[in-house]
């Protein structure tokens, strides 16, 4: 079968790397891809926003499955267009992707189906939002309704900060994303990500992970797309995972199906493990990045079988098998990230890093002649396996140390919570 992957980050490199191992694969394409992906797939210059161009490519190349990596094309309805042209796709329709694309939609769904989440109110104008803030306890969480590339959540410690966040969103700083604003209760606990494969009303767990969103060691500094992750997350015990599936993911899948918007694809639940049990912080309608890199490193089953089963509505056939190991990824970013990353610096030492047994996924690399250079904020994901997180961490950093890239940096403490737990 011929497969087209949409996207060009570390997530898509990990998906392509794993798909390339499938005996059922004939030819793998990726659009737009990146230099790392180009080693396992043919990269094509297709604009994912041009849905009909994607359809034309799929028809010309006899693509049997399209795997959509990022959220934007999902929210924009690429899967809807593909389906109308009878092209198989892994990923939700635009209606189902509202679980990621609209925080107000998800909060309302949770409320009407008794799915545990932070208490909230939703506002369409600045005056009522400000009035509501006046007597709310602090800290409080302000969220833009729509997709805001990681900039749409403010945790306000003071009323002045909360008001400033509300003003900023209604002033249009985040564009359309801020036209509605959700104000919600601050939850305390440990955060964990649970991935589930969903095919209409059926959902099965597909691994857990914990990531590090802050740019600096000790979880300090500004938020990023994720500086590293590990899987599985030891904090999400079997019992807690079952409970989160039963109380959060499964009722969501059933609610979406009965509302006529069945979800197909991977549902990524960001959970807070509170004293009252797991509560939903947010959904994503796709794999996380860098979380996907550690999931793919651990997955033993054929990924193509799994994605096809979801796309065909045959999820009941699938029982994913995982390596009996932990995986950890350290993200290497260009200096300046998450502000303005400096592009163009040369990266060397990838072969030496991989000689340790680690896998180097490309997230934001480019070519300048025959030099490999930084072309984005998050640039590499150095992924290693070990018998536990402690060992995977040691192996990942051994590989990181062989990367010769003066223009880059990484955190030195990815996995610290799990390592602490393992050494206790």
Which window, 183-191, 241-249, 351-359, 390-398, contacts ligand AMP (CB under 6 A)? 183-191
3-state secondary structure 347-411: CECHHHHHCCCCEEEECCEEEECCEEEECCCEEEEEEEEECCHHHHHHHHHHHHCCCECCCEEEC
Q: How far is the CB of 207 from ligand AMP (least distance, A)?
A: 18
Among 12, 184, 250, 289, binds ligand GLY (CB under 6 A): 289
Q: How far is the CB of 155 from ligand AMP (least distance, A)?
A: 6
Token output for 142: 């302000």
Nearer to ligand GLY (CB atom), residue 55 or residue 328: 328
Among 132, 186, 322, 416, binds ligand AMP (CB under 6 A): 186
> How far separated are the first and last CA of the chain, in Å rounded?
48
DSSP string, 237-257: -HHHHHHHIIIIIHHHHHHHH
Binding mask 140-159 for ligand AMP (x = CB under 6 A): -x--------x--x-x----
Output Rg (C-alpha) for the chain, integer angstroms. 21
On whether the CB atoms of residues 210 and 418 are closer than 8 A, the answer is: yes
On whether the CB atoms of residues 232 and 241 are closer than 8 A, the answer is: no
Report how many residues bind ligand AMP under the rule CB under 6 A.
14
Q: What angle do CA 219, 398, 226 make, to 5 degrees?
A: 30
Choose among ligand AMP, ligand GLY, none what residue 187 binds, the Cβ cut-off being 5 to 8 Å by kind: ligand AMP
Q: Is 97 in the site for ligand AMP (CB under 6 A)?
A: no
Q: Which residues within the stretch 191-220 sit at the binding site for ligand AMP (CB under 6 A)? A: 191, 213
Please tell me the distance from the alpha carbon of residue 231 to that of residue 193, in angstroms, as a whole number: 9
Choose among ligand GLY, ligand AMP, none what residue 120 binds, the Cβ cut-off being 5 to 8 Å by kind: none
Nearer to ligand AMP (CB atom), residue 248 or residue 318: 248
Please tell me the distance from the alpha carbon of residue 335 to that of residue 401, in angstroms, as a whole number: 17
Q: How far is the CB of 298 from ligand AMP (least distance, A)?
A: 22
Among 288, 338, 381, 408, binds ligand GLY (CB under 6 A): 288
Distances (CA, A) of 383 to 158, 209, 232, 321, 359: 39, 13, 14, 19, 5
Q: With 0-12 CB in 10 A as exposed, 13-18 as middle and 19+ as buried, what is 331?
A: buried
Among 9, 73, 101, 225, binds ligand GLY (CB under 6 A): 225
Q: How far is the CB of 331 from ligand GLY (least distance, A)?
A: 9
Q: Is 118 in the site for ligand AMP (CB under 6 A)?
A: yes
| Phi, psi dihedral angles at 200 (to 5 degrees) | 65, -125
Q: Is 63 in the site for ligand AMP (CB under 6 A)?
A: no
Q: How far is the CB of 112 from ligand GLY (least distance, A)?
A: 25
394: number of Cβ within 10 Å = 14
Q: How far is the CB of 410 from ligand GLY (least distance, A)?
A: 15
Contacts with ligand AMP, residue ranges (CB under 6 A) = 118, 141, 150, 153, 155, 184-187, 191, 213, 270, 281-282
Contacts with ligand GLY, residue ranges (CB under 6 A) = 211, 225-226, 284, 288-289, 291
């Amino acid at each position: 079968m011929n497969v087209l992957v949409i996207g060009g980050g570390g997530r898509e490199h990990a998906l392509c790397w794993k798909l390339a191992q499938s005996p059922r694969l004939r030819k793998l394409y990726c659009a737009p891809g990146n230099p790392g992906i180009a080693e396992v797939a043919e990269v094509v210059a297709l604009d994912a926003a041009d849905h009909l161009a994607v359809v034309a490519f799929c028809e010309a190349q006899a693509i049997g499955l399209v795997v959509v990596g990022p959220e934007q094309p999902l929210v924009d309805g690429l899967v809807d267009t593909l389906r109308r042209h009878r092209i198989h796709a892994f990923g939700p329709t635009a209606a189902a992707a509202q679980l990621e694309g609209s925080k107000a939609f998800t909060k309302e769904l949770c409320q009407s189906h008794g799915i545990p989440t932070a208490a909230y109110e939703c506002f369409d104008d600045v005056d009522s939002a400000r009035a509501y803030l006046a007597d709310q306890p602090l800290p409080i969480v302000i969220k833009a309704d729509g997709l805001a590339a990681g900039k749409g959540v403010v945790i306000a410690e003071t009323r002045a900060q909360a008001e400033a966040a509300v003003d900023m969103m209604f002033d249009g700083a985040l564009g359309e994303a801020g036209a509605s604003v959700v104000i919600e209760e601050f939850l305390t606990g440990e955060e964990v990500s649970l991935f589930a494969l969903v095919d209409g009303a059926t959902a099965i767990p597909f691994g857990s992970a914990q990531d590090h969103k802050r740019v600096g060691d000790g979880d300090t500094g500004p938020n990023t797309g994720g500086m590293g992750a590990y899987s599985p997350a030891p904090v999400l015990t079997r019992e807690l995972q079952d409970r989160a599936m039963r109380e959060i993911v499964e009722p969501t899948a059933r609610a979406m199906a009965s509302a006529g918007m069945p979800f197909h694809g991977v549902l990524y639940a960001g959970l807070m493990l509170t004293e009252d049990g797991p509560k939903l912080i947010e959904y994503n309608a796709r794999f996380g990045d860098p979380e996907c890199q550690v999931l793919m490193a651990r997955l033993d089953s054929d990924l193509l079988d799994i994605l096809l089963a979801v796309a065909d509505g045959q999820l009941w056939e699938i029982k994913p098998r995982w390596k009996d190991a932990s995986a950890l990824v350290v993200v290497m970013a260009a200096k300046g990230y998450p502000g303005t990353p400096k592009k163009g610096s040369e990266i060397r030492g990838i072969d030496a890093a991989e000689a340790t047994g680690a896998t180097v996924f490309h997230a934001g690399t480019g070519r300048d002649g025959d030099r490999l250079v930084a072309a984005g904020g998050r640039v590499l994901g150095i992924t290693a396996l070990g018998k536990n997180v402690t060992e995977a961490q040691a192996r990942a950093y051994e590989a990181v140390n062989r990367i010769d890239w003066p223009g880059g940096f990484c955190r030195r403490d990815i996995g610290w919570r799990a390592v602490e737990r393992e050494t206790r």
